[in-house]
């Protein structure tokens, strides 16, 4: 396809994102990287997991983003006593008709905030699997489609492990990206102090509709990616599974028990295209893949016992792979 035509389509369809960022900026100070990754998750039709210590506005960022869309939004607070039916819904007996009728749960919304997702046991975590992957929920013997778009934004606290349940690997793999949120800078925290110590309502106006998001996704699907970049993605994924085949990362053989799944290959290509879209380009460059690669891969690598003994983190392994695999 003509690159100039693609660039024109990208610039035209993404122009509204400036207004969206302005609305978010009314409430959120800084955290541009996290906001961009959430937008990439939306544009790539995936789900995002955010990890960070309490008080860094994880919930506020997600809820503010949801308010910029003219769509439904529900927050689910995960607790140890939560039941699967509390999320998906259940069947209620109607005494007048003598029939069981479905009572849909909060999962039936466009934007879902799964707050402190690691607070609920595994049976509740599994209730999200069908919804996140198949975009449907089964209540009784009937499957109900979820509204479009359907976007799960989950948070978890990495430091307080008492009363938490590690997410199943199958569910972690359903998340397009896992983000790490950091403390604000001195200047940003001063703005937060000035803004949040004044008693006034910070109102966010919706600027996008669900159909706008569908149009953006259609443009992103047409973005150009060279064959060499597709092979670069494949080599990155293969290096997580078979590091011994790559001389520069062969030293990591024995540190990785399980590498990234084929889903990671698909997600890395999708997020690279979405990143190029946010940059106003109709084509993908290696920097797009590098920009999102750590967020896509950090939660998909399972370490061996040797790596845990040596206190090697998945983040370090992913960083080493991106440093050593040759860029086309």
Sequence spans of domains, the chain = 17-207, 214-324
Tell whether the model's pLDDT for residue 147 goes beyond 80. yes
Q: If you average pLDDT over every residue of the chain, what do you get?
A: 85
SS3 call for 72: coil
| Greatest distance between any 2 Cα atoms in the chain | 72
Q: Is the peptide bond before 149 cis (omega within 30 degrees of 0)?
A: yes
- Reply yes or no on domain 17-207 having CATH 3.40.50.300: yes
| Cβ atoms of 94 and 100 closer than 8 Å | yes
pLDDT tens digits for range 265-310: 999 999 999 999 998 888 999 999 999 999 999 888 888 888 888 8
What are the CA-CA distances from residue 256 to residues 72, 159, 231, 325 (Å)?
A: 41, 24, 22, 17
Exposed e or buried b per residue across 269-280, where buried means at least 16 C-beta atoms within 10 angstroms of its C-beta: bbbbbbbbbbee
Contacts of 140-143 with CB under 8 Å at 24 or more apart are 140/91, 140/100, 140/102, 142/102
Please name the fold of domain 214-324. Answer: Helicase, Ruva Protein; domain 3 (1.10.8)
Residue entry with tokens 């206190």: 311
Q: Which two tokens stand for residue 62?
A: 């997600």
Of the chain, the percentage scoring pLDDT greater than 70 comes to 96
- At 227 the pLDDT is 92
Predicted confidence band of residue 163 (pLDDT cuts 50, 70, 90): low
Phi, psi (5° rounding) for residue 168? -60, 145
| Cβ atoms of 111 and 73 closer than 8 Å | yes
**Cα gap 246→238, rounded to integer Å:** 9
For the chain, helix, strand, coil in percent to 5 are: 50, 15, 35
Q: What is the mean pLDDT of residues 161-181?
A: 77
**Cα gap 284→281, rounded to integer Å:** 7
What predicted TM-score, i.e. pTM, was given to this entire model? 0.86
Tell whether the model's pLDDT for residue 228 goes beyond 90. yes
């Amino acid at each position: 396809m003509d690159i100039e035509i693609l660039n024109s389509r990208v610039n035209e369809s993404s122009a509204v994102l400036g207004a969206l960022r302005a609305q978010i900026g009314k409430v959120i100070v800084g955290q541009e990287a996290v906001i961009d990754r959430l937008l990439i998750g939306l544009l790539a039709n995936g789900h995002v997991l955010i990890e960070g210590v309490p008080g860094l506005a994880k919930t506020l960022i997600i809820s503010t983003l949801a308010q910029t869309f003219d769509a439904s939004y529900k927050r689910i607070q995960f607790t140890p006593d939560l039941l699967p039916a509390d999320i998906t819904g259940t069947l209620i007996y109607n005494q007048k008709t003598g029939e069981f009728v479905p009572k849909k749960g909060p999962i039936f919304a466009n934007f879902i905030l799964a707050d402190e997702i690691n607070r609920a046991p595994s049976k509740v975590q599994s209730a999200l699997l069908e919804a996140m992957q198949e975009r449907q929920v089964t209540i009784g013997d009937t499957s109900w489609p979820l509204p479009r778009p359907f976007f799960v934004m989950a948070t978890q606290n990495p430091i307080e492990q008492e009363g938490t349940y590690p997410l199943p690997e199958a569910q972690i793999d359903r998340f397009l990206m896992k983000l790490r949120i950091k403390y604000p800078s001195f200047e940003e925290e001063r703005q937060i102090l000035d803004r949040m110590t004044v008693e006034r309502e910070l109102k966010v106006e919706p600027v996008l509709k669900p159909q706008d998001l569908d149009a953006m996704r259609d443009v992103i699907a047409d973005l150009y990616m060279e064959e060499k970049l597709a092979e670069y993605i494949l080599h990155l994924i293969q290096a997580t599974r078979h590091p011994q085949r790559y001389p520069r990362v062969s030293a990591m053989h024995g540190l990785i028990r399980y590498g990234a799944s084929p889903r990671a290959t698909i997600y890395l290509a999708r997020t690279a295209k979405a990143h190029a879209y946010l940059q106003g380009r109709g084509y993908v460059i290696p920097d797009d893949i590098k920009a999102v690669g750590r967020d896509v891969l950090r939660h998909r690598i399972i370490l061996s016992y040797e790596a845990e003994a040596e206190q090697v983190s998945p983040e370090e392994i992913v960083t080493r792979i991106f440093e050593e695999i040759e860029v086309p």
